[in-house]
Structure 1
Amino acid sequence: MTDILVIGAGMAGLICAQQLSKTGYSVLVVDKSRGVGGRLATRRLYETRADHGACYLKPQGELFRDLINLLCDRHILEVWTDTVYEFTTHTGLSTPQNRSPRYVAPLGMSAIAKFLAQDLNILLNQRAIGLHLTPENHWRVTLESSNEELTAKALVIAIPAPQALTLLTPLAGRDLNPALLENLNSVEYYPCISVMSGYPTTSQLPDWKAVTFVDNEILGWIGLDSSKRHQAPQPVFVVQSNASFAQLHLDSPDLQPTGQQMLECAAKVFNLPWLNSPEWMQVHRWRYAFPRSPWPEKVLAFDTTAPLVCCGDWCGGNLVEGAMLSGLAASEKINQHLDQLIPANVNFFKDFV
């Protein structure tokens, strides 16, 4: 038995779990992946790293700035660039009028999640496959790999809305109002395909660090990922597709040809033929990359006999910052239903030890 079970160890789940844990609740986090972070994803390969999920952080609100300041103080984040160029078919490469700092983690964006995961009780490689309410009005969660069952007074589901819908649909009727599940069903995502590629140290690198494509039929973004590292052993680029191209190839059994097509396009756009001939290349698909039609509120709470709250970047839709705000809101909602251990108006990040 634990007070709160959090399914999902991305930004929203970790923030929620930390807030609840630091105020006295017993919290257990479960995630199907090998590591924490969700789209704060970094892959170790060929003696280097590449951020194939969220590529940088650009704060907008005060709370997210507090988090970024905290991470900068801990030497986890630093400013990468204040200029992300734009590329259009007709005008080519142009400098944006408004510049603002983009923050990155030299050790990889997953370092943010590892910092937020410290001191938490986390079970990795554990997929939740079943939920039900016990006669004592507790949540019982079944795990796939071990067929183990976990019990909690309250449940937070911090995973993409379609995955949450799959988990909750069997409860429709007796335990959940089916109409409320339609709220989850209304959330849609754009997919994305990310390519990580490494090149010889003799490559003539471009002047830019990052470029957004406005109207390219294949590409959405490209970044010189190795420029984030303090001592990068070789040039590394991360190329991300646009949503329509990703949708065409999302279910391809072999994504290597798709990745090669993306590099060919980038090589042609920038007139850099060597981009098409990397020393190595890896491709990753993100089925739930960017919320297309997000839920308009910070959380989606269910009227159940035991507290149940869903959160994530799809609540509000502002990517990593939205996920953080959603995780905080979820912790507040759960706290209201339990012992109300969290005092009002606590600045979580300034008090983080």
Structure 2
Amino acid sequence: MPRMSNVNIAIIGAGMAGLKAASTLHRIGMNVTVFEKSRGLGGRLASRRTDFGHFNHGAQYVTARDPGFNAFLQEATEFNAAQNWSPNLHRGTSAPAQSGAALSPIARHVGNLAEEPWYQGAPQMNKLIRPLVDTFPIQKQHRIVGIEPSGPRSFILHDDLDGTYGPFDGVIVTAPAPQTADLLRPLAPRYAPIDEVVMAPCWAVMAAFESPLPTGFDAMLYPSPEISWAARSSQNDDMFHRRTPDPWVLHASPEWSRQHLEEDKDRVIEKLLAALRDVSGVKLPELHSVQAHRWRYARTELPLGKSHLNGMNGRVIAAGDWCLGARVEAAWRSGRTAAHAMVEALIG
């Protein structure tokens, strides 16, 4: 068995799955290097900084059904990286049967009576990963475009600027399924099942209103065919002392996002704000600012059906929420099991 301090592992992607895998391997003594194509960490646990606060424009909240992930959320809460969230919720009639956390029948109208607690990152969603970030190096703004075998048991990584990194004894890829498939397809037929995973896009609009939106609720779940989610991006539940500008995040439904995937951002903003006006039944206040972001791979609709997929003598592993389903918890579980599978491959 190799000494853990002599083992070098590359992790591609610094979202929940990648950082959970990296943290698990680092804590048992392996040398871990994380490569992330973006400037920040967290993947779809994303927040956009503005001059008056943050917009959580990716995942809006997380829940825990797995005991291990529940323990992680408790650790994150003690770390001041997570907090309970109980918005005054309106659930619309457009909600599909499986649209997120289980809700009691009363919660179909107003009041968040979810059957499981909701958590957000504190003070914003991308802080949820703070307990997983350790002293291992994280190479930001490094887009890995190729994995090259270097002998039977090591690998060289190539980025889009002709940089090379390695050799590594193993690689865990946690990018969205289509991007993971592009990286791994040239290595072995073993990775072909990734092509069957279906991920839906999502247009997100971040609108700050000059005065508080005069609604009796702070969040809407599937209020219309256009909008799957609309929520005030703030923890203040006192409707008489809401801060201004009043920040709201709108997520377009998967169907609407597919239909308008290549549309101009200004047109997307215009149409989704009109849909918000219609479903809220109020006149929208003047806009302080508004932005749009397109998540090309936002939500898993058809998962792989297993926690990870390995090949190349078990030393190149695919992982991510898309392996198990459309939940942050699924990403955490996939990253954990991918790390354990890497240890088994190296020991074997």
Per the TM superposition, whether the score is higher than 0.5 is yes
Taking only the aligned residue pairs, the percentage that are identical comes to 25
Please say if 1:118 is aligned against 2:134. Answer: yes
- Residue correspondences, number: 328
Of residues 246, 252, 274, the one that matches 1:235 is: 246
In structure 1, distance between residues paired with 2:145 and 2:7:
18
Q: Partner of 1:150 in structure 2?
A: 166
The residue type paired with residue 132 of structure 1 is E
Aligned AA (1:182): A
Equivalent position SS for 1:181: helix
CA distance in 2, matches of 1:286, 1:211: 20
Q: Single out whichever of 264-273 and 327-336 deviates more from structure 2.
A: 264-273
Alpha-carbon offset, residue 185 of structure 1 = 0.5
Residue equivalent to 1:336: 344
Q: Which residue of 2 aligns with 1:10?
A: 15
Query: Which 4+ stretches in 1 moved above 6 angstroms?
Result: none
- 3-state SS of the aligned residue for 1:333? helix
For 1:64, give the aligned amino acid: F
Gap regions ≥5 residues in structure 1? 341-353
Conserved? CA contact 1:19–1:328, under 8 Å:
yes
**3-state SS of paired residue (2:60):** coil
1:19 and 1:242 mapped to 2: Cα distance?
A: 35
Q: Alpha carbon RMSD of aligned pairs, Å? A: 2.4
CA distance in 2, matches of 1:100, 1:306: 36
Residue pair 1:226, 1:234 contacting (<8 A) in 2 also: no
Secondary structure of the residue that 2:323 maps to in structure 1? coil
Q: 1:212 offset after TM fit, Å?
A: 0.5
Is the CA contact 2:17–2:320 (under 8 Å) kept in the aligned structure 1? yes
Larger CA deviation: 230-239 vs 311-320? 230-239
Alignment equivalent of 1:26, drawn from 25, 31, 38: 31
Identify unmatched segments of 5+ residues in structure 2: 1-5, 96-106
Distance, in Å, in 2 between the alignment partners of 1:318 and 1:306 is 25
Does 2:319 match 1:311? yes
- The corresponding residue for 1:260 is 270
Residue 319 of structure 2 contacts residue 334 of structure 2 at CA under 8 Å; is this kept in 1?
A: yes
Residue in 1 that maps onto 2:308: 299
- CA positional deviation for 1:83: 5.4
Residues 1:246 and 2:251 aligned together:
no
Secondary structure of 2:258 counterpart: helix
Counterpart contact for 2:209–2:247, Cα < 8 Å: yes
CA contact (8 A) 1:36 1:114 kept: no
**SS at 2:321's partner residue?**
coil
Which residue in 2 is equivalent to 1:101? 117
Q: CA deviation at 1:97?
A: 6.3
Establish whether residue 75 from structure 1 lines up as the match of residue 86 from structure 2: no
Segment of structure 1 superposing worse, 57-66 or 190-199 = 57-66
Relative to the length of structure 2, the TM-score reads 0.88
Match of 2:232 among 214, 224, 233: 224
Contact 1:83–1:99 under 8 Å retained in 2? no
Preserved contact between residue 62 and residue 327 of structure 2 (Cα < 8 Å) = no
Correspondence 1:28-67 to 2 at 5 A: 28-67=33-72
Residue range with higher mean Cα deviation, 80-89 or 116-125: 80-89
Contact kept, 8 Å, 2:64 with 2:116, in 1: the verdict is no
Which amino acid letter does the alignment assign opposite residue 183 of structure 2?
A: L
Normalising by structure 1, report the TM-score: 0.86
